[in-house]
Structure 1
Amino acid sequence: MPLLEISVVPVGTQSESFSSDVEEAVSIIKKRGLSYQVTPTATIIEGDLDDIMDVAKEIHHNEIGNGAKRVVTNITIDDRIDKPISLDRQVDHVKNS
């Protein structure tokens, strides 16, 4: 299944902290039943390409809905077709190397 890494930076808000934004993003991901992993600088989401793109769009629009004057969203998609990948497999591979 494809992996999508998303990092959202709301600009023009009343706070310098992103923790509540990450909590809301995780809530959106959970609501859709997708697997995810939060890292210090981004969140990785695993799922069908259409599903992960839809959730990325919802996370982005959520920031606008929360009053951000500008939102910068960075997305990286890892869609490997020669063999299966997953959140756990990728992390385990690095840990066991």
Structure 2
Amino acid sequence: MIIIAIVEVTVIPLGTGGTSLSSFVAGCVRVLQQANDIKYQLTPMGTIIEGELTEIIKLVSQMHEQPFMAGASRVNTIIRIDDRRDKKGTMKGKVSSVEAKLITPGGTD
């Protein structure tokens, strides 16, 4: 059974010798750019990934390694998984559901 999930991941490099982290984030995003069958959205505080759960877990592991390969001495990675099995969930669908309720308060899922 293929489990489609929405995962939020934040990779925080520590011990980098500076305060700018964008080059480390770019390394993590490159992992996602090379992946097949996933969708992702970079946000100011993390990245949202949509796809098959076991594949995402592998990608998150690769993302976690990127700052080490770029010279960080420590990495803190935070993962949140939204795994809904009663119906297909998507990043776009979650946002659309909220937007619909802004137009029609009290709507149902």
Give the TM-score category using the shorter length: over 0.9
Identity percentage of aligned residues: 37
User: Aligned residue for 1:9?
Assistant: 12
User: Aligned residue for 2:85?
Assistant: 81
1:12-55 deviations in whole A, cap 9, x for unaligned? Answer: 10221222222222211010122001111110011111110000
What is the number of residues matched between the two proteins?
97
**Structure 1 residues 56-65 or 18-27, which shifts more?**
18-27
Pairing 1:48–2:52 present: yes
User: Aligned residue for 1:72?
Assistant: 76
Tell me which amino acid in the other structure corresponds to 2:35. R
Give the 3-state SS of the residue equivalent to 2:18 in structure 1: coil
Give the Cα–Cα distance (whole angstroms) in 2 for the partners of residues 93 and 32 of structure 1. Answer: 28
Given candidates 49, 64, 67, the residue that maps to 1:63 is 67
| Structure 1: tracts of 5 or more residues without a match | none
User: Whose RCO is larger (CA < 8 A, sep 6+)?
Assistant: 1
Runs of 4+ with deviation above 6 angstroms: none
CA RMSD of aligned residues (A): 1.1
Give the Cα–Cα distance (whole angstroms) in 2 for the partners of residues 95 and 63 of structure 1. Answer: 36
Give me the TM-score of the superposition, normalised by structure 2. Answer: 0.83
User: Aligned residue for 2:106?
Assistant: none
Give me the TM-score of the superposition, normalised by structure 1. Answer: 0.92
Give the Cα–Cα distance (whole angstroms) in 1 for the partners of residues 93 and 13 of structure 2. Answer: 31
Pairing 1:94–2:69 present: no
Tell me which amino acid in the other structure corresponds to 1:90. K
Q: Residues 5 and 52 of structure 2 are in contact (CA less than 8 Å); yes or no, is this contact kept in structure 1?
A: yes
Give the 3-state SS of the residue equivalent to 1:27 in structure 2: helix
